[in-house]
Amino acid sequence: MNKLAIKFTILLLVLTALAPYTANTQTLENLALALNPPFPKSGEEVRAEAILTGADPALASFEWYKDGKLDKTSSGKGKNTFNLRLENEARIVIDLVVTTPGGNRLSATRAITKEKPILIWWADTSVPPGYKGKALPSPGSTVTVMAIPGAGFGEPASSLLYSWNINVEPYPGISGVGKNSFTLKTSLVPGVSQQIVVKISNTSKTIIQETTLILPTHNTELLVYKLAPAGLMDFSNAVSAFEGDAGIISDLIAVPFYFRQDQLAALNFVWSVGGQAIPGGDKPNILSLKTNTGETSENSISVNASSGSRLEKQEASYLFSANFR
């Protein structure tokens, strides 16, 4: 027998040995549950659908359980959907057992909850004392994001699994059991938004909640206010066209918003009145204006605040008019 005939005989024997294994290999059967809507309002109907792969759902038998009780009406051959309502309950647990045409039994469990998780955040940027608004993230600032699970888990937040996704990319390093918060640095490019998605589940993954946060990056801002004798400011009325009385000193203060905390100590203020730069004093963010009694004047005033350099530079300007009568 020549070498070619020997190789052919060996190949035939191998294929013959593998034939029983090949004949018995079947497509892997899997079962999953989809909910629509995933977070219903009270009284809203929810459609639970069995996603069966590797077997014909029309020939499979479905057993639907609501909180451990078999729903005979919704169960049966080919019945791969189950409609129900969440009323005053914090959650409803759905169990599904499927018997495939081949005799295999598959099971899946999901819980319906009414609430989505909430994502809260805070930025480490500047706002003046007494300001009631929120500090907004500016380019290169640090932001902390925290997930608060919705009702229905019945477990402490510290025992839940948090899976974080930033700009469509999974972040396993900040994900895990109890990891409900993290910090990130925003882009140095103004106007760039971050998309943050968190998926929260219990250890058995029978309850899954998910939500998305679009976190925009804002430009730094500089506003000017009239400073009261007691040093108070009214943040609802930034100066746009200042009206003053001749002969009386008026103090104006430039207030930076959303600058990074590491830039505040180095902020440089430059004032200009009628196109002429004004030398800075002990308090470079304050400008004192005065005209002689009986003198009328009108000027444009600008102020610029800046710190840092190159890509790390933060800067903002403000322009207004001042009239004295």
- Last residue of one domain, picked from the residues 148, 183, 215: 215
The pLDDT of residue 19: 43
Query: CA-CA distances (angstroms) from residue 135 to 66, 126, 149, 278?
Result: 46, 6, 24, 30
**325 Cβ partners below 8 Å, 6+ apart?**
243, 244, 245, 246, 296
Q: What is the mean pLDDT of the chain?
A: 85
Q: Does residue 122 belong to any structural domain of this protein?
A: yes
106/58 Cα distance (integer angstroms): 15
Within this chain, do residues 207 and 244 fall inside the same structural domain, yes or no?
no
Q: Does residue 247 belong to any structural domain of this protein?
A: yes
Count of domains for the chain: 3
244/65 Cα distance (integer angstroms): 76
- pLDDT tens-place string over residues 217-233: 999 999 999 887 766 67
Element at 163 (helix H, strand E): strand 161-166
List the CATH number of the domain containing 127.
Answer: 2.60.40.10
Which domain covers residue 246, as residue numbers?
Answer: 221-324
In this structure, the number of other CB atoms found within 10 A of the CB of residue 28 comes to: 8
Question: What number is the average pLDDT over the span 2-10?
Answer: 46
Element at 24 (helix H, strand E): helix 3-24
Of 241 and 174, which is predicted with more confidence? 174
- Closest among 125, 25, 44, 131 to 92, alpha carbons compared: 44
Angle at 138 between CA 136 and CA 144, to 5 degrees: 60
Q: Does residue 2 belong to any structural domain of this protein?
A: no
Q: How confident is the model at residue 296 (pLDDT cuts 50, 70, 90)?
A: low
